């Protein structure tokens, strides 16, 4: 018999959600859930709105900064294309750039890894994803590919480093997108995760495993199930939170679900559906129609987890971009200094250098904000830095600019390089400021001669000092090769013009190749210079061909010498062309030391590669028989010079003993050229140091030579304005200027230099006063660094400090950096910080429109204290010729002894009213200055009777260099 039933239906809340309680007359109680869909599309849209605001905020901080996502696709699967289009659209919608990197199906694993490396190294790319599956004809390990993506750009969160972080609860990396989206969806339901029982069906490294870890770190009790799990439905029925990512259509039925559970369905599976136009429809891993009858919240498919995956990908990319921008805009680097353990008394420089273990140069590069693509390592301790850094940081405000010079030195040197390094170690390692030292590359001439290297000394050095003082990265050798190629081309051209008639000479210069001939680009430039508006070699008249082919160089007016980076006195004058093959066309010439080459000065003064090219092309190497200048471009060699110098354009990154950054680049001599490291190195350093950082660079010798040229030549060429000048002084040098006995390298110091002698010191203070006055004439604060030596006394130091302050110094401090490293230069660092914060009204010593003689007089009277200028008749004639040629608008680069303010190295102190004799003058058109010669200035030093060569050896057992300092 059938018994009719009466039902009582009333709404209640279960697990916080609406449901219907149905009670029959027999007392049976049913609860039918009305599950709430978790609308991933709406939630993702809200997240993307927030990301759009974040991108706008990032760009307001740096208008040129745009977050960028690179999506790598192998092959052309349509399902992958659908997903990629979604990601590209989402990126565009929030204001990001997205690059679709399409790679063909025939790409190999090695080639794919190479493409990923390029993206890893690109500063413009902040996030990288590799679309799976890889549609390749070749076998490719997808795990190796995802691991190849840099952990800092792995916005998919699939790199093992990021996965490992998630596993141990370190959520500072990138969380895989789908798992992150799942947790976000659960949180939007309002159901607390803490203390809940969570079951995850699926253990893939993309979804199942990471979502289990995330739920665990949200304090749920998590069970992970998989295809081998027994009694799966019994386990899923225990779940307050159920995440299904098993990849099987509608595997989880309504009966598997605990009433009121939150269900996250990560599956997306096509199944047959004749009612659809495509014949298919998409379903999840959960039977949705059944789940909504039991669960409190369920994600639909599609429209649930999928949109959240894309949103989390965008979120990770914006996070990656934000982290990069924060690294770029951080006030200080995350630099980890190296600890010093000074020994007293300090051992030799080489022993100190070898006692320190330098950082891997890639680590230092990363600390100061460089990207791998911008760093070309030469071993573990030095690296070339790409000029592309300047493009990347073009909107970055530059740091403070400091020049370090000295008083008139003794032949031993007063520790200018050592002070530079001590200052930067103090600023960076002890005061926590971003700080660079920019130094010249030392020549091998002094290294094997008598002066020694230029790596600093004691506990303020560049390391490894052997590499610094020897070949380094080969820049000087590149200059040598380029210089000598130009010399070889010039002499060959003279020979060929002397031995050939116009017709054959022209035909050889513009030969037929496969029946046609054409001018090279550099030859077209020569035609333009000659005023010949033709591009067809066969169309030139005989007269035009002769003008084009003949440079007609006057062998007696050749200005270009060959060079070698060694001291070799026998090359000061040589005769070339003595072989019978040269047919008697000999001429006298000479060698210079490599660092005296005009090419070295051009590398130091170029603002970019194009500027360097123009300067190289403009170098005047000789004059023709009519008195017209002949340039490197006329000889057709400009492009070849650029090729030889290509790697030398880039500065070399090294480090100090305390692990602070040093940029080494170029090495023009200060008594012959302008004596400063490169503009490019300084500019890169000032950008990397950032607005509140410091860049200290060295000028050769005293303020009268190196500092004046730094201000009037280098700063004029670069447009950079210095904030402070540091002048290094020693008790020893000032006593010499007070009338002390001669100081000779290799000889013991006289007693007056090792005993207190205030009277002698007082007489020599005039030299310090002159150098302070020189700095003040450029209207920059002048800080005096008194480089402490072991025999100095407190009274001597106090006398110098008092005099300096009374004579216009901003500050005068005692420095003990040689013995203590940066800790011994903290007072100097503080003084420099204060000086850079003080007002600087930098000005040049002279305007360029002054005539050559007036500019020379301004330098001689203001910087040296001269009264009159005396010129030889030959110099007077040359000045007139230079003026006619327009060279009078160039700055002046005085070639003068460094051992005296006068032209006589024997005269010490600070004499005034003397006559300065100019006995020669030449022009370096490419470098961009006129060089008056004061006295006999040799461009090729010689070796002494006992050079350092005697002490230098290679330990064949250890491979270490012995006897080098």
**Residue tagged active-site, from 131, 324, 356, 396:** 131
Burial annotation 687-700 (CB, 10 A radius, 16+ → b, else e): bbbbeebbbbbbbb
Is pLDDT at 31 greater than 70 in this prediction? no
Ranges of H-type helices in 340-385: 349-355, 361-367
Task: Give the pLDDT confidence of 64-102 residue by residue, as tens digits.
Answer: 889 999 999 999 988 889 889 999 999 999 999 999 999
Catalytic status, residue 87:
yes
Residue 185: strand, helix, or coil: helix
Task: Name the range with the highest mean pLDDT among 166-175, 266-275, 481-490.
Answer: 481-490
pLDDT band for 6, please (50, 70, 90 cuts): very low
Paired strand residues for 558: 622
Closest CA to 496 of 550, 574, 546: 550
DSSP state of 157: -
pLDDT of residue 24: 46
How far is the C-alpha of 119 from the C-alpha of 132, rounded, in Å? 17
How far is the C-alpha of 254 from the C-alpha of 236, rounded, in Å? 11
485: enclosing H helix or E strand: helix 475-499
Contacts of 78 by beta carbon, 8 Å cutoff, 6+ apart: none
Instruction: Classify the C-alpha dihedral 155-161-167-170 as positive or negative.
Output: negative
Contacts of 283 by beta carbon, 8 Å cutoff, 6+ apart: 249, 250, 267, 269, 271, 301
pLDDT band for 15, please (50, 70, 90 cuts): very low
The structure tokens 């709105």 sit at: 49
pLDDT of residue 272: 85
Instruction: Classify the C-alpha dihedral 565-570-573-578 as positive or negative.
Output: negative
733 and 766 Cβ atoms separated by less than 8 Å: no
pLDDT of residue 503: 94
pLDDT of residue 284: 92
How far is the C-alpha of 646 from the C-alpha of 623, rounded, in Å? 28
pLDDT of residue 455: 83
Across the chain, what does the average pLDDT equal? 92
pLDDT of residue 450: 67
β-strands 280-283, 262-265 pairing = unpaired
Torsion region of 484: left, alpha or beta (phi above 0 gives left; psi -120 to 50 gives alpha): alpha
Contacts of 147 by beta carbon, 8 Å cutoff, 6+ apart: 159, 160
- What distance lies between CA 230 and its chain's CA centroid? 59
Q: Give the length of the chain.
A: 965
β-strands 629-631, 915-924 pairing = unpaired
Task: Give the pLDDT confidence of 118-146 residue by residue, as tens digits.
Answer: 999 898 999 999 999 999 999 999 999 99
pLDDT band for 547, please (50, 70, 90 cuts): very high
pLDDT of residue 33: 52
Closest CA to 780 of 726, 714, 824, 736: 726
102 and 77 Cβ atoms separated by less than 8 Å: no
Contacts of 109 by beta carbon, 8 Å cutoff, 6+ apart: 138, 139, 140, 141, 144, 145
Residue 805: strand, helix, or coil: helix
pLDDT band for 350, please (50, 70, 90 cuts): confident
Catalytic status, residue 131:
yes
User: Quick one: CA torsion of 520, 526, 530, 534, rounded to 10 degrees?
Assistant: 10
**Residue tagged active-site, from 17, 87, 788, 820:** 87
**Residue tagged active-site, from 135, 152, 154, 156:** 156
Please tell me the pTM assigned to this model. Answer: 0.88
Task: Give the pLDDT confidence of 308-338 residue by residue, as tens digits.
Answer: 999 999 999 999 999 988 887 888 999 999 9
Task: Give the pLDDT confidence of 379-426 residue by residue, as tens digits.
Answer: 999 999 999 999 999 988 999 999 999 999 998 889 999 999 999 999
How would DSSP label each residue in 853-920?
A: HHHHHHHIIIII--SEEEE-HHHHHHHHHHHHTTGGGS-B--B--SS-SSS-TT--S---SPEEEEEE
The residue ranges of DSSP E strands in 617-766, in sequence order, are: 620-624, 629-631, 652-656, 661-664, 694-702, 724-729
pLDDT band for 374, please (50, 70, 90 cuts): very high
Higher pLDDT: 878 or 269? It is: 878
574: enclosing H helix or E strand: strand 574-576
Task: Give the pLDDT confidence of 434-479 residue by residue, as tens digits.
Answer: 999 999 998 887 778 765 567 889 999 999 988 888 889 999 999 9
For the chain, report the end-to-end CA distance as a whole number of angstroms: 115
How far is the C-alpha of 664 from the C-alpha of 796, rounded, in Å? 35
pLDDT of residue 453: 63
Paired strand residues for 197: 221
How distant, in Å, are the alpha carbons of 351, 623, 852 from that of 881? Answer: 54, 12, 11
How far is the C-alpha of 648 from the C-alpha of 793, rounded, in Å? 45
Which tokens in the block code for residue 16?
Answer: 């916080």
**Average pLDDT of the segment spanning 618-647:** 96
Closest CA to 555 of 506, 501, 498: 498
**Long-range contacts at 231-234 (CB < 8 A, ≥ 24 apart):** 232/201, 232/256
For 244, list phi and psi in degrees, rounded to 5: -120, 120
Catalytic status, residue 880:
no
**Average pLDDT of the segment spanning 506-523:** 93
HEC states along 404-452? EEECCCCCCCCCHHHHHHHHHHHHHHHCCCCEEEEECCCCHHHHHCCCC
916 and 864 Cβ atoms separated by less than 8 Å: yes
């Amino acid at each position: 018999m059938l018994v009719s039933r009466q039902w009582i239906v009333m709404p209640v809340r279960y697990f916080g959600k609406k449901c219907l309680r149905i009670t029959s007359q027999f007392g049976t109680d049913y609860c039918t859930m009305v599950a709430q869909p978790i609308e991933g599309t709406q939630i993702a849209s809200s997240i993307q709105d927030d990301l759009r605001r974040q991108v706008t905020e990032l760009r307001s901080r740096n208008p040129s900064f745009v977050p960028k996502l690179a999506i790598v696709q192998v092959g052309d699967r349509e399902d992958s294309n659908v997903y990629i289009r979604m990601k590209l659209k989402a990126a565009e919608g929030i204001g990001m750039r997205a690059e679709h990197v399409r790679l063909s199906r025939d790409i190999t694993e090695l080639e794919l890894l190479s493409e990923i490396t390029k993206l890893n190294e690109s500063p413009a790319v902040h996030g990288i994803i590799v679309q799976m599956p890889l549609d390749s004809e070749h076998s490719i390990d997808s795990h190796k590919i995802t691991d190849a993506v840099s952990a800092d750009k792995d916005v998919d969160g699939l790199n093992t480093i990021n996965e490992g972080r998630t596993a141990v609860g370190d959520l500072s990396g990138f969380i895989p997108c789908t798992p992150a989206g799942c947790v976000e969806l659960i949180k939007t339901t309002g159901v607390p995760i803490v203390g809940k029982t969570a079951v995850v069906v699926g253990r893939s490294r993309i979804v199942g495993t990471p979502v289990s870890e995330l739920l665990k770190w949200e304090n749920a009790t998590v069970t992970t199930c998989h295809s081998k799990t027994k009694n799966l439905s019994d386990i899923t029925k225990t779940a307050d939170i159920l995440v299904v990512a098993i990849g099987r259509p509608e595997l989880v039925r309504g009966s598997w679900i605990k009433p009121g559970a939150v269900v996250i369905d990560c599956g997306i599976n096509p199944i047959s559906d004749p009612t659809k136009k495509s014949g298919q429809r998409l379903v999840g891993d959960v039977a949705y129609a059944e789940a909504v009858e039991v669960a409190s919240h369920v994600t639909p498919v599609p429209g649930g987890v999928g949109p959240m995956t894309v949103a989390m990908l965008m979120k990770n990319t914006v996070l990656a971009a934000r982290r990069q921008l924060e690294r770029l805009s951080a006030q200080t680097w995350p630099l980890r200094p190296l600890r010093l353990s000074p020994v007293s008394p300090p051992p030799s420089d080489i022993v100190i250098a070898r006692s320190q273990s330098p950082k891997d140069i890639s680590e230092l590069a990363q600390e100061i904000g460089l990207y791998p693509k911008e760093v070309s390592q030469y071993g573990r301790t030095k690296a070339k830095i790409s000029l592309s850094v300047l493009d990347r940081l073009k909107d970055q405000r530059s740091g403070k600019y400091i020049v370090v010079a000295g008083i008139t030195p003794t032949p031993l040197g007063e520790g200018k390089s050592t002070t530079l390094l001590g200052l930067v170690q103090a600023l960076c390692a002890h005061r926590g400021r971003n700080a660079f030292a920019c130094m010249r590359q030392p020549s091998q001439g002094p290294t094997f001669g008598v002066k020694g290297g230029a790596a600093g000394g004691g506990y303020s050095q560049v390391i490894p000092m052997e590499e610094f003082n020897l070949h380094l990265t080969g820049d000087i050798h590149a200059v040598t090769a380029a210089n000598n190629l130009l010399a070889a081309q010039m002499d060959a051209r003279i020979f060929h013009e002397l031995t050939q008639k116009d017709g054959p000479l022209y035909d050889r210069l513009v030969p037929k190749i496969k029946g046609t001939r054409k001018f090279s680009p550099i030859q077209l430039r020569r035609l333009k210079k000659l005023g010949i508006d033709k591009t067809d070699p066969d169309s030139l008249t005989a007269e035009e061909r002769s003008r084009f082919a003949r440079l007609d160089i006057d062998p007696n007016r050749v200005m270009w010498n060959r060079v070698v980076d060694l001291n070799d006195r026998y090359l000061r004058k040589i005769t070339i062309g003595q072989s019978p093959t040269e047919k008697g066309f000999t001429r006298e010439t000479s060698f210079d030391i490599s660092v005296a080459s005009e090419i070295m000065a051009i590398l130091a003064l170029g603002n970019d590669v194009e500027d360097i090219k123009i300067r190289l092309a403009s170098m005047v190497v000789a004059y023709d028989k009519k008195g017209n200048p002949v340039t490197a471009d006329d000889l057709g060699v400009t492009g070849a010079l650029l090729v030889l110098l290509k790697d030398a354009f880039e500065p070399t990154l090294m480090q100090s003993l305390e692990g602070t950054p040093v940029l080494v680049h170029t090495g023009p001599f200060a008594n012959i050229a302008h004596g400063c490291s490169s503009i490019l190195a300084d500019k890169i350093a000032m950008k990397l140091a950032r607005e509140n950082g410091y860049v200290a660079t060295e000028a050769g010798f005293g303020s009268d030579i190196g500092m004046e040229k730094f201000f009037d030549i280098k700063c004029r060429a670069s447009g950079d304005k210095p904030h402070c000048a540091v002048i290094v002084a020693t008790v020893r040098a000032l006593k010499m200027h007070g009338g002390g006995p001669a100081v000779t390298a290799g000889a013991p110091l006289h007693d007056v230099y090792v005993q207190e002698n205030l009277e002698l010191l007082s007489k020599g203070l005039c030299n310090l006063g002159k150098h302070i006055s020189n700095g003040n004439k450029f209207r920059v604060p002048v800080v005096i660094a008194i480089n402490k030596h072991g025999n100095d006394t407190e009274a001597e130091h106090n006398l110098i400090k008092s005099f300096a302050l009374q004579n216009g110094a901003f500050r005068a401090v005692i420095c003990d950096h040689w013995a203590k490293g940066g800790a011994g230069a903290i007072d100097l660092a503080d003084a420099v910080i204060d000086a850079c914060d003080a007002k600087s009204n930098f000005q040049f010593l002279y305007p360029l429109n002054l005539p050559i003689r007036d500019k020379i007089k301004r330098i001689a009277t203001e910087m040296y204290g001269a009264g009159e200028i005396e010129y030889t008749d030959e110099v007077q004639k040359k000045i007139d010729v230079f003026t006619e040629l327009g060279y009078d608008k160039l700055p002046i680069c005085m070639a003068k002894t460094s051992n005296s303010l006068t032209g006589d190295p024997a005269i010490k102190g600070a004499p005034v009213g003397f006559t300065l004799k100019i006995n020669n003058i030449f022009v370096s058109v490419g470098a961009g200055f006129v060089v008056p010669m004061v006295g006999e200035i040799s461009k090729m030093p010689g070796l002494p009777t006992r050079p350092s060569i005697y002490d230098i050896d290679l330990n064949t057992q250890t491979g270490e260099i012995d006897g080098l300092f």
